[in-house]
């Protein structure tokens, strides 16, 4: 009988299968680095951007439509050129990226909070509660995601008086995307909960006499985190795409404080007149961000999958 | 469906004042009151709802606020465009998606597989509209091979205007169809591959090997069948997703389908169209789900015949 | 006579990033045609690995790194993939443990049979179908016409395993490897399948290697046996000789540790070869120890009274009552257990014994009938204080050591949970002290406190479960097959521990098992269950000597008799 060895917390973390897999999967490391860099750059936008594109006093229409610095006609003051309103592309991308990321995170968080709570309750209690909650989720799933987001967003904007629409646009977008997301989380959480609830340690807790809510929080929830984390990462990528799509369709963040999607929409109108940079750079930024997050999510799914050892 | 119709109805009534939207800002009080009575807006909510349902069942969705024509006509006019687009995209997504999914599932480590997987990851990361814009730029602006927007080459078959019967039509539909299918294609590909890998680890595959069956038999007779069955539901839902994403694609390519109409409706808060579109999409989804359920029933013997 | 199969110096390794595991080391085996060789050992001994190695279907990253496998004169290791595929099916057939997952659920068994026949023989078309029918008949399946078009899920477990055997025989192989072929089956079906394998072996002069952890199975059908421990063969020989006079220490301990069904002994013989010395149980001073605080107050009289208990499960919901599929899990069960007594509930799977235990523990609600704990009616799940207090007297230990502990909690927190929840200790320091004590008491040592469950073996995890149960200071302990998932060598320790705890703390015990010899050793009285109803309740010794009910007799007949091997029980139809 082998003597079980004691390892310190740090040692266990390093020795952990997941950590090892991470350190040995180059794509995951790259993805994580890119994500971290992108996110920190975007979050630090107010400090590192050369201009503040949301401040009308810093924009001058004269400088509008300038190409990037290395193309003829550009100036070094505006490294990546300017958009039609005279905003510096680099700064706008940073600020816009910040918007996109914030929206993505909060929306996913909202969806996760709602979905996981409902999912765990649904899975643990079963019976009528389960049927009702899942019926809600099913009904919602009958309407495809993007459509629903557009709809909720549209309704939200329509409800607000016209002058408040732009200011509150960001909140409406977040709520719209968050509300679209929750059934996915609920489904996964419910599935994981139902599996865990069958396990004997949960039965044991019940025999000890612990109340249901305590069992759900202390025992079941931590054990459902793995699959939820994977869905959350992918959800983040989808949320960022959703926000960009909404903005592109004109439904999301307004052009006064543009996100990456709005920028692309603006740029699209000038694409055929040859002002390619207004679309290209935000587009690249968006794709790189989402790609990195997806890559991370992919690795996570493989690493956290117990069946793949 | 009931829930969806309820949502539609509340949309109809509570979002914005329908009368305002219909007659504009200049109407006098008397005109407004008259119209309200005509539309029956003064009746109790339940009566309005029943009337709404009755109308819907007869195909009457009311008039569009903005365009002032019956919504049902509008939808029917533009439906063929969307349906054809969705159909072609679905075809592409299914054929290529399943095909590549199976291939990468079987030949895991060839460099072709690796490239496919890498590209698929990019595919999932590209928002549909970016794909659309990129394709337009490349093929329409730079290379000038294909038209950049709009639907062309339509042939009138009476009640259905199809663009699939002309070369022009095909040239116009290629880019939008590819754009629309790309996202779903990559999802299907990854799903099929994951399922295939999972199935290959099953005991019955091991037993098949122990019986000396050829690898080809194992793949195509055993593994494939067991891979596709659980995947049917998800594929069904994904095809439904095509309908949703058609909204985006139609906007990028200015494709005159129901999706474009919907976006324009949302822009102007044209509630009847929004409500009607919602019901239509939900209906389509319910139908797709039904088909998937039936397929499942047919294909999985465990459901068809009970246990002993 | 040349051997059918000769294995020389076989080595199998599993390289992982944690280091290489030597699954099989320097193994030598021989097998003749018409002979059944048993490969017996506990989990991890390497017996299944040998089977997989022979037909070259090792789970990656396993590799054969040394030795030769000579089959009918050829070294199997020299063959190409193509040639090996030929050998599988035509020359060597393999049967796995779980018939449910061995068959493709989406293809009819007829189709699966025919495709195997076509591949393994020269037959095609209707000739192949005829052969499929013959095969089914030869494994004892009647109504072959309808069966051919049926799907696997429409068969019972035993029938499925027969189909699996038929598939393995499709190519007329000369060697069959059976990897735990009966472990997933009920006791009565087990005997039938083993008989089938044995008769096929004799009729067709096959060589059979049967891999198992169950010595009873070996006693039943093997001619020779090889005992494995830790990747090596420790002893080989004729079954009769090994079972009566084993020479190797491990074999001796192993055989001695199997619970005896023929008479009652005080303690289980533990397998000292592995566990390293007999474990003495530390006595505690009941007066001062925390565990002893409630012992003084042990009530007398009836601990558990069950009266007319019924429970039906709805398997398939439907709108109309007639379409619902229900299962009567518990059918009018009545029994009573005295305080301080050890009561056993025995039956095959599906008999309802576990359900009764769960009903008593409050995990399910009965449809009607009474359950009283120390006189307090607890059948209805009311939240009254009396009911809760009564339920606190009861704790439960479960079967699966791997899912009965929350993998994310430390042992300290797992065991301390009931103490903290019910606030039975004054301070956190006292809590730790108590947990430390209990862990010592169950034989784990206080160093286990800060570790996580996955760092422990199966037997040790059960000890943790027992510690957790003790932390509630129960008067009644329900044990639901606590050792069925453990190796024989570890069983003895856990069962001894339970016995000691019961004697020391005056616990009432409800012991569930399907294993009659274990029941005999553990329980004073026993109830036999079948299809949800009680067939017989008696004192244990009385039941074993003179059973009243026909089903009890039937179960006793099925008990593996190690002293009577050679005369296997006749193939059984169930009792009327």
Helix axes B224-253, A145-159, angle to 10 degrees: 40
What does DSSP assign to residue A164? G
Q: CA nearest C111 in B: which residue? A: B221
Report yes or no: B298 at the C interface, CB cutoff 8 Å.
no
Asked if residue C116 has a cis previous peptide bond (ω within 30° of 0), the answer is no
* Within a domain: C538: yes
Both C157 and C36 in a single domain?
A: yes
| Summary mean pLDDT of chain A | 77
Token pair 């947990």 is at which residue? C435
Domain shared by C46 and C119, yes or no: yes
Residues B184-216 have pLDDT tens digits of 888 888 888 888 888 888 888 888 888 888 777
Give the Å distances, CA to CA, from C502 to A174, C294, C497, C499, C506.
60, 14, 9, 5, 5
For tokens 């992108």, name the residue. Answer: A38
Q: In chain C, whose CA is at the least distance from the CA of B221? A: C107
User: C181 and C51 share a domain?
Assistant: yes
- C222 lies in the same domain as C338: no
Q: Has residue C51 been placed in a domain?
A: yes
Q: Digits of tens for pLDDT over chain C (576 positions)?
A: 467 888 888 888 888 766 788 888 888 888 888 889 999 888 777 888 888 888 888 877 788 888 888 888 888 888 888 888 888 878 888 888 888 888 888 888 888 888 888 888 878 888 888 888 888 888 888 777 778 888 888 888 788 888 888 888 888 888 999 988 888 787 778 888 888 888 888 888 888 999 988 888 888 888 999 998 888 888 888 888 888 888 888 888 778 777 776 666 666 665 555 443 344 455 555 556 676 666 656 667 777 888 888 888 876 655 556 666 777 888 888 888 888 889 999 988 778 888 888 888 888 888 888 888 887 777 665 567 777 777 788 899 998 888 888 888 889 989 989 888 888 778 888 888 888 888 888 888 778 788 888 888 888 889 999 999 988 888 899 999 888 888 777 888 888 888 888 888 888 899 998 888 888 888 889 999 988 888 889 888 888 888 888 888 888 887 766 554 433 333 333 333
- Give burial (CB, 10 Å; 0-12/13-18/19+) of C285: exposed
Residue C71 domain flag: no
The DSSP secondary-structure symbol of A56 reads G
Q: Which residues of A touch B119 (CB under 8 A)?
A: none
Query: Cβ of C172 under 8 Å from any chain B Cβ?
Result: no
pLDDT digits 0-9 by tens, A137-157? 877 776 677 777 777 777 777
Residue where one domain finishes, among candidates C199, C229, C256? C256
Closest CA to C562 of C263, C346, C345, C278: C263
Note whether C227 and C336 are same-domain residues.
no
In this complex, do B207 and C102 lie within 8 Å of one another by their Cβ atoms? Answer: yes
Chain B residues with CB under 8 Å of A248 CB are 127, 129, 248, 251
Q: Is C453 contained in some domain?
A: no
Are C252 and C358 part of one and the same domain?
Answer: no
pTM exceeding the 0.80 threshold for the entire prediction: no
Per CB-CB distance under 8 Å, the chain A contacts of C363 are 203, 206-207
Alpha-carbon separation of residue B247 from A17, A140, A152, C433 (angstroms): 43, 18, 15, 66
* Structural domain of C349: 302-393+511-557
Chain B residues close to C168, C-beta within 8 Å:
210-211
Cα–Cα distance for residue pair A97/A103, rounded to 1 Å: 10
Low-confidence ranges of chain A (pLDDT < 50): 1-6, 308-309
* H-type alpha helices, chain A: 9-15, 17-24, 26-43, 45-48, 89-125, 127-141, 145-159, 165-198, 200-208, 212-214, 221-248, 260-271, 277-303
Q: Does C155 touch chain B if contact means CB atoms closer than 8 Å?
A: yes
Query: What subunits make at least 3 CB pairs under 8 angstroms with C?
Result: A, B
Q: How many CB atoms lie within 10 A of CB B141?
A: 13
Q: Which residue in A27, A134, A135, A155 has the most chain B C-beta atoms within 10 A of its own C-beta, making it the best mutation to test that interface?
A: A155
Give the other-Cβ count within 10 Å of C569's Cβ. Answer: 14
Looking at chain B, which residue has its C-alpha nearest residue C119?
A: B213
Instruction: Kindly report the nearest CA distance between residue C350 and chain A, in angstroms.
Output: 18
Neighbours of chain B (3+ CB pairs under 8 A): A, C
A236 to chain B: closest CA residue: B125
Same domain, C314 and C383: yes
**Cβ of residue B234 closer than 8 Å to a chain A Cβ:** no
Helix (H) or strand (E) holding B245: helix B224-253
Shared domain check, C234 and C312: no
Cβ pair A200:C400 closer than 8 A:
yes
Residue C450 lies in a domain: no
Q: How many residues does chain B have?
A: 308
Among C88, C98, C104, select the one facing B210 at the smallest CB separation. Answer: C88
Residue C573 lies in a domain: no
Residue C312 is part of a domain; what is its CATH number? 3.40.50.300
Residue C477 lies in a domain: no
Residues in A closer than 8 angstroms to B269, CB to CB, are: 154, 158
* Contact B200/C at CB under 8 A: no
How many domains, chain C? Answer: 2
- Regarding whether C245 and C346 lie in a shared domain, the answer is no
Structural domains in chain A, CATH included, are 61-308 (1.10.3720.10)
Chain B residues within an 8 Å CB radius of C98: 203
Instruction: Find the closest chain C residue to A209 by CA distance.
Output: C392
Pull the structure tokens for residue A159.
């409800």
Note whether A200 contacts C399, CB cutoff 8 Å.
yes
Q: Does residue C360 form part of some domain?
A: yes
Which residues of chain A make contact with C400, given a CB cutoff of 8 A?
Answer: 200
Neighbours of chain A (3+ CB pairs under 8 A): B, C
Q: Which one of C202, C230, C256 terminates a domain?
A: C256
Helix axis angle for A145-159 and B271-299, nearest 10°, is 160
Same domain, C251 and C306: no
Mean pLDDT of B250-273: 77
């Amino acid at each position: 009988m082998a003597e079980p060895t004691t390892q310190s917390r740090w040692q266990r973390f390093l020795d952990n299968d997941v950590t090892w897999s991470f350190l040995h999967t180059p794509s995951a490391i790259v993805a994580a680095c890119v994500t971290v860099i992108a996110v920190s750059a975007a979050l630090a936008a107010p400090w590192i951007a050369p201009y503040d594109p949301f401040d009308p006093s810093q924009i001058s229409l004269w400088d509008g439509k300038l190409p990037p610095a290395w193309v003829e006609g550009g100036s070094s003051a505006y490294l990546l050129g300017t958009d039609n309103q005279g905003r510096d592309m680099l700064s706008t991308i940073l600020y816009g990226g910040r918007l996109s990321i914030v929206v993505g995170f909060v929306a996913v968080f909202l969806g996760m909070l709602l979905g996981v709570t409902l999912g765990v309750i649904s899975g643990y209690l079963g019976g009528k509660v389960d049927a009702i909650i899942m019926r809600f989720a099913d009904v919602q799933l009958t309407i495809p995601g993007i459509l629903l987001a557009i709809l909720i967003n549209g309704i939200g904007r329509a409800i607000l008086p016209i002058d408040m629409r732009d200011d509150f646009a960001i909140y409406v977008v977040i709520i719209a995307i968050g509300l679209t997301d929750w059934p996915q989380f609920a489904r996964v959480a419910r599935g994981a909960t139902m599996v865990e609830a069958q396990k004997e340690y949960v039965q044991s807790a019940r025999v000890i006499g612990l109340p249901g809510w305590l069992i759900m929080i202390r025992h079941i929830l931590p054990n459902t985190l793995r699959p939820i984390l994977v869905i959350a990462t992918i959800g983040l990528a989808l949320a960022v795409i959703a926000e960009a799509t909404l903005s592109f369709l004109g439904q999301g963040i307004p052009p006064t404080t543009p996100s990456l999607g709005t920028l692309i929409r603006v740029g699209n109108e000038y694409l055929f007149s040859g002002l390619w940079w207004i679309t290209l750079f935000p587009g690249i930024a968006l794709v790189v961000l989402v790609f990195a997050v997806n890559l991370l999510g992919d690795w996570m799914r493989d690493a956290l999958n117990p069946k793949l050892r | 469906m009931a829930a969806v119709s309820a949502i539609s109805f509340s949309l109809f009534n509570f979002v914005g004042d329908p009368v305002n939207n219909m007659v504009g800002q200049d109407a006098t009080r008397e005109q407004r009151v008259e119209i309200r009575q005509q539309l029956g807006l003064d009746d109790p909510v339940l009566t309005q709802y029943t009337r709404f349902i009755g109308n819907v069942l007869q195909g009457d969705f009311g008039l569009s606020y903005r365009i002032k024509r019956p919504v049902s006509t509008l939808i029917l006019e533009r439906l063929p465009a969307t349906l054809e687009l969705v159909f072609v995209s679905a075809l592409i997504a299914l054929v290529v998606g399943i095909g590549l999914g199976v291939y990468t599932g079987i030949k895991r480590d060839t460099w072709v597989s690796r490239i496919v997987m890498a590209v698929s990851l990019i595919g999932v990361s590209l928002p549909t509209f970016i794909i659309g814009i990129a394709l337009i730029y490349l093929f329409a602006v730079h290379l000038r091979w294909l038209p950049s927007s709009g639907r062309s080459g339509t042939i009138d078959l009476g009640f259905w205007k199809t663009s699939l019967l002309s070369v022009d039509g095909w040239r116009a539909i290629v880019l939008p169809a590819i754009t629309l299918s790309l996202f779903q294609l990559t999802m299907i590909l990854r799903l099929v591959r994951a399922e295939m890998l999972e199935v290959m680890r099953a005991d019955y595959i091991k037993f098949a090997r122990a019986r000396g069956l050829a690898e080809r038999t194992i793949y195509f007779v055993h593994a494939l069948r067991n891979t596709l069955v659980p995947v049917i539901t998800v594929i069904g839902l994904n095809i439904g997703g095509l309908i949703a994403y058609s909204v985006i694609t139609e906007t990028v390519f200015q494709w005159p389908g129901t999706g474009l109409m919907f976006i324009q409706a949302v822009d102007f808060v044209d509630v009847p169209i929004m409500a009607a579109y919602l019901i239509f999409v939900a209906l389509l989804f319910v139908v797709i789900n039904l088909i998937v359920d039936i397929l499942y029933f047919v294909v999985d013997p465990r459901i068809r015949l009970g246990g002993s | 006579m040349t051997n059918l199969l000769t294995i020389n110096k076989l080595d199998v390794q599993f390289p992982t990033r944690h280091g290489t595991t030597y699954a099989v080391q320097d193994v030598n085996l021989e097998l003749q045609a018409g002979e059944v060789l048993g490969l017996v050992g506990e989990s991890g001994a390497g017996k299944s690995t040998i089977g997989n190695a022979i037909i070259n279907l090792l789970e990656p990253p396993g590799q054969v790194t040394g030795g030769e496998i000579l089959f009918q004169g050829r070294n199997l290791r020299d063959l190409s993939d193509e040639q090996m595929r030929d050998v599988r099916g035509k020359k060597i057939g393999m049967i796995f443990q779980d018939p449910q997952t061995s068959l493709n659920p989406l293809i009819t068994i007829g189709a699966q049979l025919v495709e195997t026949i076509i591949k393994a023989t020269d037959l095609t078309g209707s000739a192949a179908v005829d052969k499929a029918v013959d095969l089914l008949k030869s494994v004892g399946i009647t109504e072959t016409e309808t069966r051919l078009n049926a799907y696997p899920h429409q068969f019972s477990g035993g029938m499925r395993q027969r189909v699996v055997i038929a598939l393995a025989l499709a190519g007329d192989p000369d060697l069959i490897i059976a990897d735990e072929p009966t472990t997933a089956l009920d006791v009565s079906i087990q005997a039938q399948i083993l008989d089938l394998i044995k008769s096929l072996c004799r009729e067709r002069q096959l060589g059979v290697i049967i891999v198992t952890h169950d010595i009873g199975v070996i006693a039943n059908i093997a001619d020779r046996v090889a005992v494995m421990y830790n990747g090596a063969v420790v002893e080989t020989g004729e079954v009769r000789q090994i079972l009566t006079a084993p020479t190797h220490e491990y074999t001796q301990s192993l055989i001695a540790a199997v619970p005896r069904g023929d008479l009652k002994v005080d303690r289980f013989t533990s397998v000292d070869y592995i566990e390293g010395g007999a474990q003495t149980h530390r006595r505690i001073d009941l007066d001062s120890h925390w565990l002893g605080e409630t012992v003084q107050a042990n009530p007398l009289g009836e601990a558990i009274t069950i009266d007319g208990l019924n429970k039906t499960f709805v398997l398939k919901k439907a709108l109309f009552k007639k379409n619902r599929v229900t299962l009567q899990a518990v059918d009018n069960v009545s029994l009573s257990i005295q305080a301080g007594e050890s009561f056993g509930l025995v039956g095959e799977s599906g008999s309802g014994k576990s359900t009764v235990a769960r009903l008593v523990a409050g995990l399910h609600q009965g449809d009607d009938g009474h359950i009283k704990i120390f006189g307090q009616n607890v059948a209805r799940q009311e939240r009254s204080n009396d009911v809760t207090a009564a339920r606190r007297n009861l704790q439960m230990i479960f079967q699966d050591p791997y899912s009965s502990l929350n993998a994310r909690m430390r042992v300290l927190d797992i065991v301390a949970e009931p103490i903290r929840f019910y606030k039975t200790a004054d301070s956190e320091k006292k809590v730790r002290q108590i947990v430390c004590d209990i862990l010592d008491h169950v034989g784990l040592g206080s160093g286990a406190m800060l570790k996580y469950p996955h760092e422990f073996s199966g037997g040790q995890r059960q000890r943790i479960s027992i510690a957790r149960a003790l932390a509630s200071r129960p008067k009644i302990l329900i044990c639901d097959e606590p050792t069925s998932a453990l190796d024989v060598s570890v069983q003895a320790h856990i069962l001894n521990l339970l016995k000691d705890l019961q004697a020391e703390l005056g616990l009432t015990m409800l012991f569930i098992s399907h294993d009659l010899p274990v029941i005999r050793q553990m329980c004073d009285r026993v109830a036999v269950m079948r299809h949800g109803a009680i067939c017989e309740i008696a004192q244990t010794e009385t039941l074993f000597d003179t059973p009243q009910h026909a089903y009890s007799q039937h179960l006793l007949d099925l008990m593996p008799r190690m002293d009577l091997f050679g005369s296997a029980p006749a193939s059984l139809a169930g009792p009327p």
